Structure 1
């Protein structure tokens, strides 16, 4: 092949096939998240991820020898930043802002991917992702809830013994239960009702 023919062949080669290193790895992780959020854990295949990333299956297996390895890294890479706890001015408004942020994260691409793992994996598989889920989602959410509640205690809006594990678990437990068991999509009204009818009475200081 002469020089001009080689140049023409290279020009026709898709840019995706020439990607290397971090750029290719990011494309593969994004493709895995796309698969998880659309076809779920059961439907995800290494072949499908490779096709979504526009690369060869061998490129995927060189980096991640198993589906579990790939999904764990994809979840780590795709989890949204938690950011600081809301500080709107009242514990009620702070909780509502945090609930809305959590709901939006649940229904984002990475959130749908995470839910497919939680809902579809058996116990053995779920154990593999426990650290990813706990460190990347559960701990930051509980830390923000505790911060909001403790700030409410300081302002006199919240009873002093309310900043405990059971109270902090209430919102995540309710949101996961209603989402998984009842198929709730958590509209703004649903979240407002939960905060006003569950959390505000639960946190309110005793009178008299």
Structure 2
């Protein structure tokens, strides 16, 4: 007599279950958006019970925050190519990859869908894990260029460093192809290098 076999159900626990829940959360954000995301849908996609979610996360906001925080890529390291232009392009390339990742798409979906007040917690997360580290690595790149005699540290103001994420977010929202490699080269060659390579004394003179 032929025996009937049944698939073995493996119950995930701990880190494995958490990863599955976070992956399901990101996928739901990309497909349905934040407003339509529900704990029930995430539980079904992760093949777990709602109780597993509610035991740890009291709301979908906290679940989404934890999913994004755990999944965002680490900040890029200073490339150290020996060239300011090459370093800037490498850093911007790493930021482009982060923005185009599933986690980056999910984060942008949340921020673009909510008004500023409701998105405050998510904006804070983006600052802590993306924008602030990006500012730091860009400053480190400029400091290395200063040591080589390429650039002036005095002109690397917060406003100048803000140009990179601001332009990337603007193009991501307004341009079908997002922020492209050609955009990155134009940003470096037409904006950043003319400013960063400018003598500090000249910048002070323009301010009167």
TM-score normalised according to structure 2 size: 0.87
Query: Equivalent residue for 1:57?
Result: 50
Q: Which ranges in structure 2 are unaligned for 5 or more consecutive residues?
A: 203-208
Query: Equivalent residue for 1:180?
Result: 173
Aligned length: 198
Q: After superposition, what is the alpha-carbon deviation per residue over 1:13-32, rounded to whole angstroms, capped at 9, x for unaligned?
A: 532xx222222122111110
Q: Aligned equivalents of 2:59 and 2:153: distance in 1?
A: 49
Q: After superposition, what is the alpha-carbon deviation per residue over 1:57-103, rounded to whole angstroms, capped at 9, x for unaligned?
A: 22222221211010010011101011412111211110011111111
Q: Aligned equivalents of 2:127 and 2:120: distance in 1?
A: 11
Q: 2:60 aligns with which of 41, 60, 67?
A: 67
Q: Aligned equivalents of 1:151 and 1:159: distance in 2?
A: 10
Q: Which ranges in structure 1 are unaligned for 5 or more consecutive residues?
A: 1-7
Answer yes or no: is 1:48 the counterpart of 2:48. Answer: no
Structure with higher helix content: 1
Q: Aligned equivalents of 2:14 and 2:198: distance in 1?
A: 56
Answer yes or no: is 1:147 the counterpart of 2:140. Answer: yes
Deviation at 1:144, TM superposition (A): 0.4
1:41–1:116 contact (8 Å) kept in structure 2: yes
1:92–1:195 contact (8 Å) kept in structure 2: yes
Q: Aligned equivalents of 2:147 and 2:109: distance in 1?
A: 39
| Coordinate RMSD, CA, aligned | 2.1
Q: Aligned equivalents of 1:25 and 1:185: distance in 2?
A: 31
Map residues 71-86 of structure 1 onto 2, 5 A cutoff.
71-86=64-79
Q: 2:91 aligns with which of 89, 98, 116?
A: 98
Q: 2:105 aligns with which of 112, 118, 139?
A: 112
Q: Aligned equivalents of 1:178 and 1:119: distance in 2?
A: 14
TM-score normalised according to structure 1 size: 0.87
2:111–2:123 contact (8 Å) kept in structure 1: no
2:76–2:91 contact (8 Å) kept in structure 1: no
Query: Equivalent residue for 1:14?
Result: 9
Q: After superposition, what is the alpha-carbon deviation per residue over 1:141-160, rounded to whole angstroms, capped at 9, x for unaligned?
A: 11001111111122121134
